[in-house]
A and B are shown apart, each in its own frame.
Chain A
Amino acid sequence: MEEMLFIRTEVVPALARGIIVSIQLIIPSSALGLLVGMAVGAARVYGNRSLTFAANCYVAIFRGFPLVVQLFIWYFGLPYIGIYMTPYVAAVLGFSLCSGAYHSEYIRGAFLSIKQGQLMAAKALGFSHVGMLIHVIFPQAFRRALPGCGNEIVYLIKYSSLAYMITCIELTGEGKIIASETFKYIEIFLIIGAVYLFLTTIASWFLRRLENRLSIPGFKPFSV
């Protein structure tokens, strides 16, 4: 009985609080990450030499450093040079910049897959530079990049579990605190695992639906 009361008054509210924070981390980070990825991806394909070089360096560093290390640098490292961020901002920034680097890989690949001939044809039809980008390149590139970027978003949902290490206490952090107070590791981490499984499953399902919805007969997205 006491057990039930404990679950109702402590475990459930804490996990609910954690889920909300997790979702508040995941949604802006994936949106921002995609934006960063598009900008960097475009810069790597269409930018001039120095821009391409800078973008490549960014991708090499952010794909080469483990995410945990990046988060610690954002949160505990940057104050050394006078930049202070709240745990939440540091986490969202860390997630966005890291996943942006990965997104840019898929987006770059998608841009490159569009044949030069199409661009010439568009020019011949009188499209402006911007018009060509919006009406010819983006619709195709978006469809091609979608499977990769979708995967990256699913990764992000899982990696959001690292935010508690820089004191942004989300689902995993709340779980860890309760588990270390109650010593009920198995029960609590099974519940938490189930929540993440639910989130990643929904996200993949939604992304697959989006892919099918957008698919054009005869237009083949990459098979990676």
Chain B
Amino acid sequence: MIESLTILAGALPYLLKGSVVTIGVVFGAMSLGLLFGIALAVGQVYGAIWLKRLIGLYVWFFRGVPLLVLLFLFYFGLFSLLNINLTAFTVAVIVLGLISAAYQSQIFRGAIVSLPDGQLKAARALGMSDATAIVLIILPQALRLAIPAWSNEYSIVLKDSAVAYALGVTEIMARAHFVASRTYQHLPLYFTAGVIFLILTYAGTKALRLLEERVHIPGYSQ
């Protein structure tokens, strides 16, 4: 017991440094997913029929294949084939981001569709182009409405990022493994890794909750 605790205390700074890597992966993936997800959602709601089909296909693929399989496919396969040399970290960000874009697009699509139809018409009547109306009228509301679901997506991406250790990204989980290989203290190390993830989940969702209250429009609910 004492031995485990001393090893754990010694390893903690190293594990915590791993959370910087984890946060980097999650931040990159969520940003990529947000930008791409918004584009996909707008395309799926307002786009031409072929565009809708294409986006549907994208969403179907990235929601249907396990993260691990996509990581291996992209890391060992696709990028090598295209002769693009990316680090494991970048591949993890891209793959998690592409998957998250598929999920986020559905969140934003739901939010856009939930807005009353009349708004777009009113904007047109005021002489706005459709693109302006989407950017200035629809998205500001839809993004606000999407925050709760988005916060859920954050906690999923955060936990999924632990799988990236399989590529050798030195995030929290990989570091727990390395220390365990040297010290044979598997249970305390895995448990500590789990607790760090729990804290990151809690902190992130709490921050998003605050954001939700901050940008809430008085008298406006879904």
A and B touch in the complex (CB under 8 A): yes
Which chain A residues have a beta carbon within 8 Å of chain B's beta carbons? Answer: 60-61, 63-70, 72-73, 76-78, 80-81, 154, 158-162, 165, 172, 175-176, 179, 185-186, 189-190, 192-193, 196-197, 200-201, 223-224
In-complex Cβ contact of A158 among B66, B77, B190, B198 (8 A): B66
Q: Are the C-beta atoms of B197 and A73 separated by less than 8 Å?
A: no
Tell me whether B218 is interfacial, beta carbon within 8 Å: no
Let me know if A69 and B73 touch, CB within 8 A: no
Also in contact, A186 and B162, with CB within 8 A (given A64-B201, A76-B186, A201-B64): no
Do A68 and B69 touch across chains, with their CB atoms under 8 A apart?
no
Docked Cα-Cα span, A86 to B107, in Å, equals 39
Cα of A193 to Cα of B76 in the assembled complex, Å: 14
Which secondary structure dominates where chain A touches chain B?
Answer: helix
Q: In the complex, which residues of chain A have a beta carbon less than 8 angstroms from the beta carbon of B65?
A: 158, 193, 196-197, 200
Task: Across the interface, name the chain A residue whose C-beta is closest to B205.
Answer: A64
Q: Is the CB of B68 within 8 A of A77?
A: no
Minimal Cβ-Cβ distance residue in B for A160: B66
B61, B77, B190: which contacts A197 (Cβ < 8 A)? B61
Closest A residue to B186 by beta carbon equals A76
Interface check B187, CB cutoff 8 A = yes
Q: Which of B61, B69, B159, B187 contacts A66 (CB 8 A)?
A: B159
Inter-chain contact B197/A69, CB cutoff 8 Å: yes
Closest to B114 in A: A223
Task: State which of A73, A161, A200 has its C-beta within 8 Å of the C-beta of B64.
Answer: A200
Is there an interface contact between B76 and A185, defined as CB atoms closer than 8 Å?
Answer: yes
B162–A185 CB distance below 8 A: no
Whole-angstrom CA separation of A219 from B75 in the bound complex: 47
- In the complex, besides A176-B72, A200-B63, 14 extra interface pairs with C-beta distance below 8 angstroms are A63-B201, A64-B197, A64-B198, A65-B197, A66-B163, A66-B194, A69-B194, A76-B187, A77-B187, A78-B187, A161-B67, A197-B64, A200-B64, A224-B110
Interchain CA distance A224-B63 in the complex, whole Å: 18
Cβ-defined contact, B60 with A193, below 8 A: no
Question: Are A70 and B194 within 8 A (Cβ)?
Answer: yes
Check B2 for interface membership: any CB of A closer than 8 A. no
Within 8 A of A (CB), among B144-184: 149, 155, 158-163, 165-166, 173
Instruction: Let me know if B68 and A162 touch, CB within 8 A.
Output: yes
16 A-B residue pairs with Cβ-Cβ distance under 8 Å, sorted by A, are A60-B198, A61-B198, A64-B198, A66-B159, A66-B197, A67-B162, A69-B193, A69-B197, A70-B194, A73-B194, A76-B186, A154-B63, A158-B64, A165-B166, A172-B68, A172-B69
Q: Are A72 and B186 in contact, with the CB atoms below 8 A?
A: yes
Question: A59: shortest Cβ distance to chain B, in Å?
Answer: 12
B123 contacts chain A at the CB level, 8 A cutoff: no
